[in-house]
Amino acid sequence: MPAEAPARPAERGALRWIARGAAIAVAAAFLALLAYGLATKSDNKTIDDALARSKATPAPNFTLDVLQRGRGGNAKLARAMADGRLSLRELRGSPVVLNFWASWCVPCRDEAPDLQVTWDTQRTDGAIILGLDQQDITDDARGFIRDFGLTYPMVRDGGDDTAHRYGNTGIPETYFISPRGDVVGHVIGSVTANALTYGLEAARAGEPNPAKAGGPRKKT
């Protein structure tokens, strides 16, 4: 059988261009995947890295449906929730404890009583405890609220878009937001009464503190 003729110079050049194009395409796909991964994780990294450097960072805004208006809040909170929607920006001027939770989250049950006590004792000083129910069935969420006698305001995200903007990978997670709208503290996992008191003091003063590990949490 005759030997295969060597490739002509023009053919070799075309093969080199094809190989180079394939390598460029692979590199572009890798860079796109890397950029996507960084984008989906950057918010949490930005928040926690800033706190580690004792720097506050603006809290990602959201506008969500009201799940519960709550009882005992101030007039500003009542006005903000009157239309059945709430934007985080509408709470500027008040220290906010933003707590991500869901009815199917067992660790969320552990912290619920402490959140309620904090609301009862701190709301008269203008503090707002805001629960953010995510990836949940509305009736289940309302059953959870009823079972634990929770009276602080709640909003609802049927998916996890808001959690992604904060960079959360589990629940519960709690953020402490200053009256200026900056995140000054973050507890990863269930939060205790002492952590809530300390976080609110830092929020009122606008003093950032490094993110802290709390109790158990459920991966999302």
**For the chain, which residues make up each domain, given as ranges?**
57-219
Q: What is the CATH number of domain 57-219?
A: 3.40.30.10
Structure tokens at 109: 């049950």
pLDDT in tens, the chain (220 residues): 455 555 555 555 544 555 455 444 434 433 333 333 333 343 457 899 999 999 999 999 999 999 999 998 888 899 999 999 999 999 999 999 999 999 999 999 999 999 999 999 999 999 999 999 999 999 999 999 999 999 999 999 999 999 999 999 899 999 999 999 999 999 999 999 999 999 999 999 999 999 999 999 998 8
pLDDT at position 73 is 85
136, 138, 133: which is closest to 153 by C-alpha?
Answer: 133
pLDDT at position 26 is 38
pLDDT at position 45 is 73
pLDDT at position 220 is 82
CA-based R_g, the chain, Å: 24
Which own/partner contact pairs does 142-145 have at CB distance under 8 Å and 24+ positions apart? 142/67, 142/68, 143/103, 144/103, 144/108, 144/109, 144/112, 145/67, 145/68
Q: What angle do CA 95, 167, 133 make, to 5 degrees?
A: 60
